[in-house]
Amino acid sequence: MAHLTYGMIGGGKDAFIGAVHRIAAALDHQAALGAGALSSTPQRSRESGAALGLHPDRCYPSWRDMLQGELARPAHDRVAFVVIVTPNHAHFEPAREFAAAGFHVVLDKPMVLDSAQASDLVRTVHAAGTVFAVTYNYSGYPLVKHARHMVRAGEIGRVRKVIVEYHQGWLATHLEASGQKQAAWRTDPSRSGLGGAIGDIGSHAEQLVSYVTGLELEAICADLTAFVPGRKLDDDASLLLRFRGGARGILSASQIQIGHENDLSLRVYGETGSLLWRQEEPNVLVHRPLGQPDRLLRRGNPYLCPEAQAATRLPPGHPEAFLEAFANIYRGALAAMRREPSLLDFPTVEDGARGVRFIERTVASAASNAKWTPF
Ligand SMILES: NC(=O)c1ccc[n+]([C@@H]2O[C@H](COP(=O)([O-])OP(=O)(O)OC[C@H]3O[C@@H](n4cnc5c(N)ncnc54)[C@H](O)[C@@H]3O)[C@@H](O)[C@H]2O)c1
């Protein structure tokens, strides 16, 4: 299997998710970092590239230099795709320019700042015919894939209600005032976009519900609060959801819930049973069939669906988690780039566009005093 080489934008020294992407892309020995514009200043980009062993010629001062520099190389010697792991405001331009130039793109969520940018990107990607993956990594977990399989196979009956909760506590204080950079841009509307917690983690919750249940949002009733004095974006979100076909939902996303680390959970209630999956205990899926004892389904076992098996690397009892799930998104996207079949899917530019709309409609509902707002 041929290695694909990629260039990374963002993910320099002290960045969070860029390092996760590098591990995930490399986990199955299918992709290697070949170039980078890794930071917002040329000096830091060069230092970050050198620390990762990049050739000095391919430690670019900016993503525009990387685009020009890679296009100037012979086609067989360019990066095949770019990974964009910058703060949200610096997603759209590089994603659009690299896709338009024929490079595949892996971009972190939320995809862009508004629906005008999202539509532009959808058009650009379709015209280019390239692969575009948005790293909503929670759909990469084997037992999330099995939950989706069970819902589709009718194993819990028609879905009536969904409760998705994403609780964190790390922004319970005015952390941004300390200069902590992940807090600083996430609480700044010019860099984060319209949403605070709702954009940062609520967007993952929306995608998880959509992925597992296939339900389509019809309307949102949202209450957004900024509890920490001086904060300009929400740090706590409570939403009621109505789906087409009559199902109902509750979505809670909060970053001021002290004691919670990365506590994402999904409950799906159907007419004949329910499912529970928790990100902090991701190797177990709880199935509660009507009138029968609870069942615990565990990762790595042969009774799981083929997609869940394909998303697994280790035998049962050898825990897999965040990094492996992230790598599953890469595996699907890399197969698509090679035009090879794969049981592993990945979130697309359309999923990214829906996520952007979700943030916009939620903020619109909250701004109208929690009025029900059509999706
Ligand atoms: N999928 C997930 O679970 C997940 C988790 C964390 C973050 N994210 C997303 O990943 C993105 C980055 O988040 P983070 O927490 O890693 O942020 P971060 O602040 O830790 O890192 C951002 C990096 O981008 C660089 N950067 C900023 N502007 C740039 C530019 N114009 N060109 C090149 N580099 C530039 C910074 O120097 C830094 O290295 C965000 O969109 C965030 O929402 C996703």
Averaged pLDDT, 164-181: 97
Distance (Å, rounded) from C-alpha 227 to C-alpha 58? 44
- The string of pLDDT tens digits covering residues 23-48 is 999 999 999 999 999 999 999 999 99
Q: Tell me the pLDDT band of 18, cut-offs 50, 70 and 90.
A: very high
Nearest CA to ligand 1 atom 5: 17
Q: 335 pLDDT exceeds 70? A: yes
Burial of 350 (0-12, 13-18, 19+ CB in 10 A): middle
Q: Tell me the pLDDT band of 3, cut-offs 50, 70 and 90.
A: confident
Contacts of 370 (CB under 8 A, 6+ apart): 221, 222, 223
Separation of 11 CA from ligand 1 center, angstroms?
6
Q: Which atom of ligand 1 is nearest to the CA of 17?
A: 16
159, 247 Cβ separation under 8 angstroms: yes
- Cβ atoms within 10 Å, residue 319: 12
Q: Tell me the pLDDT band of 347, cut-offs 50, 70 and 90.
A: very high
Separation of 188 CA from ligand 1 center, angstroms?
14
What CATH class does 4-137 carry?
alpha beta
**Cβ of residue 88 lying under 6 Å from some atom of ligand 1:** yes
Q: 1 pLDDT exceeds 80? A: no
pTM: 0.98
- The string of pLDDT tens digits covering residues 100-125 is 999 999 999 999 999 999 999 999 99
Q: Where in the chain is the domain with CATH 3.30.360.10?
A: 143-316+349-367
Choose which residue among 17, 20, 135 to substitute to test ligand 1 binding: the one with the highest number of ligand atoms within 8 A of its C-beta: 17
Burial of 79 (0-12, 13-18, 19+ CB in 10 A): buried
Distance (Å, rounded) from C-alpha 312 to C-alpha 143? 10
Distance (Å, rounded) from C-alpha 218 to C-alpha 210? 12
Q: Where in the chain is the domain with CATH 3.40.50.720?
A: 4-137
State which CATH number among 3.30.360.10, 3.40.50.10740, 3.90.1490.10, 3.40.630.40 fits the domain covering 143-316+349-367.
Answer: 3.30.360.10
**Cβ of residue 37 lying under 6 Å from some atom of ligand 1:** yes
Separation of 39 CA from ligand 1 center, angstroms?
9
Distance (Å, rounded) from C-alpha 280 to C-alpha 10? 27
pLDDT the model gives residue 2: 62
Averaged pLDDT, 231-250: 98
Averaged pLDDT, 196-209: 98
Q: 76 pLDDT exceeds 90? A: yes
